[in-house]
Amino acid sequence: MRSHALAALLALLAVPAALAADGFQRPANGDCIALSTGSDVALFPEQYMMVGDEQAKDGFVTQVNSSRGFSVQYFPSYKVVTNSIAGETYVLSQCGAQVPPASQFPEGTKFFTVPLVSLSAPETVPYAFVDFLGLTDRVHDVSPFVSAPCGQALLECPGGDSRISPDAMQLTNGTYLEAAVGATTDGLMATSALPDYPESFAVSAAQDPGVLNRAEWVKFVGLFFNQERAASDIFAAIKAEYEATKASATSGAAKKPVVAWASHFAYPGMSENYGISFAEYKKEFTQDAGGAMLDREAVSGIKGVQAIDTAAEFLTFTWDGSEGSFPTQAEAKAAFLEALKKADVIIDETYAENPTTYDSAALLKDWGLTEAEAATLPAWANKKVFRPDGLLSLQRVPDFTDPSKTVDQYGSDWFEGAIARPGKVLKDIVRAVQGQGQGFTWVRNLFTEQPVVTDGKTCNAAQPCAAQPRTICPFVKECPVGQAPALLMSSSNSCTYAECGKASALEQPADGSSSSLPTNAAAMAAPAIVLTLIVVAFVEVLMHFC
């Protein structure tokens, strides 16, 4: 399967005219380094490495660990990336350099040539990271639930059907994946390990409990595109934004408003229930917004309330006849309302097929409440009920039951972009909890605000369907024997490198400040230019998202 992909790549290298074919459009091979035989040039200079909590150097190997879940070890021409949540190891070789022999690595190790050119992104959660890094021109196919405008634009490309990713069932079938996306993509990004498909890698952001830890997975995605340094800077900005918002939201000593994350669940064949979530990340958002969670102990102590998951993060009020459940719906509902009376703010997470018509009347109907029952809840009386479905996408897809018809299918950015941008989410929660701030991104007021539905028209990429992605320049260029490799200076139009033998940028400290004496202007200029590029990219990101 891997050899199939390599064969496709080699064919393209040999016949550039074939580049117009679907997938594998490495931009005139500009991503790849040209090395002389036997070269031992280090291809990942420190300036471009991932920034993490822990960094250690052992001979020529540098290891960087993130706060949770993943780490990278840099070797001269490849990097070894470990995802400890999914239990997988990936060897990422720089395009143009030799791939190390598989026998050096444990069985099950997966091999990629980076930067990836053509990505299959069948799940929405990690798509936001690719969008964030400005790599949407390297995405071949996406989930039909994608919310990001450029993701939606892909679905509208000519031959749009080929841009719809494999679905959840198909993701478990390696043979199917090889046939469906193997020839057009060189990486498939999923949310869990797919052992049957060697070209897949797992982004475990949603399994990471902390809100900042989740966002930090942008660095992990960056590794597959040689964008880990840019990703590290984006993460630093997100973290700073989060911490600033938290500091101002939690500075007052005033009484903390109590928040309940509540829902009603009904689906044919499954037991109906009311529920209150105490998920770690919701707790973190609530507390960091200056609020307090409903008292979990008090709720779990109510007779009839059950915890369904092992972490006891979700407490249900059900009446399905199982041992310990409520005898009737009326009793379950009464206990649920009693618990919610202690909340100043309710965040309603009830699933809605069409969130655009889900208003306060729809909630009453869904939850089975009368206006009078609802009015006993302070959050309802004070119009402080919110929903996290404020940013949606809409796809018109063929109806399963009758293919001659179409159905509207909404995707929610709460399960996509929100995971990548906790600083912005926190602003929404502060607004809900404390009534401060204007406008929302995801968390809308049920009584007064409507969801925003985005479409592909707002994609700001020049040509979302174009076949050729922009080049991702190698970080260094090989120089004549005895001279240090030249460091990348600019990648805006073409790849420009410092002059051979002059700029010893590789010896500069990673932060760009110079403690060693620079020998000439070029040596001084190189890190400054790199820094400028990073700052520009970073400001663009802020302008776009904050």
Ligand X SMILES: *[C@@H]1O[C@H](CO)[C@@H](O)[C@H](O)[C@H]1NC(C)=O
Q: What does the binding site for ligand X look like in residue numbers (CB under 6 A)?
A: 54-56, 63, 65, 71, 173, 175-176, 179
In the complex, the smallest distance separating the C-beta of residue 109 from ligand X, rounded to whole angstroms, is 16
Report H helices in 90-169: 124-132, 149-155
Shortest distance (Å) from residue 190 CB to ligand X: 16
**Residue 50 or 116: which CB sits closer to ligand X?**
50
The span from the CA of 31 to the CA of 472, in Å, is 5
- DSSP tag of 262: E
Shortest CB 54 distance to ligand X, Å: 3
Structure token pair of residue 56: 């250690």
Min separation Cβ 6 and ligand X, Å: 22
- The residue among 56 and 542 lying less far from ligand X, judged by its C-beta, is 56
Nearer to ligand X, 175 or 382 (CB): 175
Q: Could you give the CA distance from residue 346 to residue 374 in angstroms, rounded to a whole number?
A: 12
In the numeric block, the tokens 């007064």 are attached to 448
How many Cβ atoms are within 10 Å of 252's Cβ, its own excluded? 10
Q: Report the distance separating Cα 442 and Cα 428, nearest Å.
A: 7
Q: List Cβ neighbours of 263 (8 Å cut-off, separation of 6 or more).
A: 274, 275, 276, 277, 348, 349, 350, 351
Nearer to ligand X, 53 or 507 (CB): 53
Q: Shortest Cβ distance from residue 55 to ligand X (Å)? A: 6
Please identify, using beta-carbon distances, which residue of 98 and 170 lies nearer to ligand X: 170
Which residues make beta-bridge pairs with 155? none
For ligand X, the closer CB: 170 or 328: 170
**Minimum CB distance to ligand X, residue 174 (Å):** 8
Residue 178 Cβ vs ligand X, minimum distance, rounded to whole Å: 9
Helices (H), 171-215: 174-180, 211-215
Strands 258-265 and 345-348: parallel
- Shortest separation between residue 490's beta carbon and ligand X, angstroms: 32
Q: Amino acid identity of 484?
A: A
Q: Of 67 and 98, which CB lies nearer to ligand X in the complex structure?
A: 67
String of b and e for 227-242 (b: at least 16 CB within 10 Å)? bbbbbbbbbebbeebb
Minimum Å gap between C-beta 87 and ligand X is 12
Q: What's at 56, amino acid-wise?
A: A
**Cβ at position 115, least distance to ligand X in Å:** 24
Strands 78-83 and 110-114: unpaired
- CA-nearest of 230, 216, 235 to 475 is 230
- Residue with Cβ nearer ligand X (15 or 179): 179
| Distance, CA of 374 to CA of 228 (rounded, Å) | 49
Tokens of 274: 């009311």
Do residues 386 and 443 lie in contact, with contact meaning Cβ atoms separated by under 8 Å? yes
- Give the residue among 393, 326, 329, 400 at the shortest CA–CA distance from 356: 393
Give CA–CA dist 235/255, Å, rounded.
32
> Which residue, 69 or 151, has its beta carbon nearer to ligand X?
69
Q: How far apart, in whole angstroms, are the C-alpha atoms of residue 532 and residue 489?
A: 10
Is the CB of 83 or the CB of 245 nearer to ligand X?
83
